Structure 1
């Protein structure tokens, strides 16, 4: 297996976008389009345009020796992104109504559910393994590669979010040394969509 920076001229952006979409079905359905097809195409545009949290510069792909895409990681240091840059790129990609939804609800999701990312934190935004390749240690390989990437960038802490009802993912991350440091469960606004914010300090 190889852990590579996404190359928009080489790798399958449709596949990348579909894998990203699968990581947050509910959120993307609400914010990035009226259906799966539109949401995936909007993700693809954001990936290709760059300069946003889903930009190609923040994406790694895992491929096998035959260049089959096995999984993806969207991750970044806090100092590499900004809400303002996201707004600018989303306004170019999304239809006006969808952009308004993102501007309001997307900001609420960011503030009320996801981890607060400091400048020296490394945030694992989206981790996905192609369903047909699961159970082969690819998720483990992605996490191990993410730790190396965080260390290389000089980040002190690795962060991620897990939904409250995803016990399997929580146990996996705990085996890698992640610990829950915050619980966010704004029931009045996002009923049933709370998250656990988890951290792992880089040695």
Structure 2
């Protein structure tokens, strides 16, 4: 039954419910910003999550070198740590996600000489062009770009990917974004997960340069309205 308000009472101002950020409720899974202790995990996760692209870029025999190079690079790139969110399950790092917004220009500190020491000249060139292609994203005003998302193989099947995507929506809304988008290979099984989360394919893209740099010429741009 609705409460009866006296006629001389002044109505209370409408209260906007405070939404709790996914991954901050009590429980085994917590999501927090990247910290110093996460550098090794993030460096390895990005290579493992996108192993097909890294293997195409640097060669199968140099994959461990790519992990070491990534770790060094992210270790000194503290200016980009705010973009990365780490999922921690029962105290262990289990997943990572990176978001970008319109107007952000700071990039990771990639050093060719260092990369050559881990990957050789050919591997460094491949990694450079991979970055040049995947970082060339036009993020418009009111948009959020889901740059990376990955869950460690030991923690799959626990819903961590979904919670990370929910957190991405929350972070984008906090910045008054109207939509969030990502790039994904057409053959990637994650396409179904993104669809269940409300993403739709806006257009396919790719071509010769995409195949040369990433190993695939068939990609989707998927977007979700917030």
What TM-score, normalized to structure 1? 0.79
Structure 1 unaligned runs (5+)?
A: none
Partner of 1:185: 206
Task: For 1:58-137, list aligned pairs within 5 A.
Answer: 58-64=83-89, 66-81=90-105, 85=107, 89-91=109-111, 93-95=114-116, 97=121, 100-111=125-136, 116-137=138-159
Please show how residues 1-203 of structure 1 align to structure 2 within 5 Å.
1-8=29-36, 11-31=37-57, 35-50=62-77, 55-64=80-89, 66-81=90-105, 85=107, 89-91=109-111, 93-95=114-116, 97=121, 100-111=125-136, 116-166=138-188, 168-187=189-208, 190=211, 192-202=216-226
Superimposed CA distance per residue, residues 64-103 of structure 1 (whole angstroms, 9 cap, x where no aligned partner): 3x41112111222132235xx45xx213653383554444
Question: Which structure has the bigger radius of gyration?
Answer: 2
CA contact (8 A) 1:29 1:39 kept: no
Shift of 1:123: 1.2
Task: Please say if residues 91 and 99 of structure 1, whose CA atoms lie closer than 8 Å, have aligned partners that are also in contact.
Answer: no
Tell me the alpha carbon deviations over residues 17-54 of structure 1, each in whole angstroms, 9 at most, x when there is no partner.
Answer: 111112211332354686111101121122222267xx
The CA deviation string for residues 166-203 of structure 1, in whole angstroms up to 9 with x for no partner, is: 1x31111111111111211304751644210111122x
In the aligned structure 1, how far is the partner of 2:127 from the partner of 2:154? 32
The DSSP-based 3-state class of the residue aligned with 1:94 is helix
Partner Cα distance (2:146, 2:129) in 1: 23
Q: Which runs of 5+ in 2 are unaligned?
A: 1-28
Structure 1 residues 81 and 32: CA distance shift in structure 2, 3 A: farther
Q: Distance in 1 between matches of 2:224 and 2:185?
A: 17
| DSSP-derived class of the 1:14 partner | helix
> Could you tell me whether the CA contact under 8 Å between 1:164 and 1:193 is conserved in 2?
no
Number of corresponding residues: 189
Per mean C-alpha deviation after superposition, the further-off stretch among 89-98 and 71-80 is 89-98
- Is the contact made by 1:61 and 1:72 (CA closer than 8 Å) also made in structure 2? yes
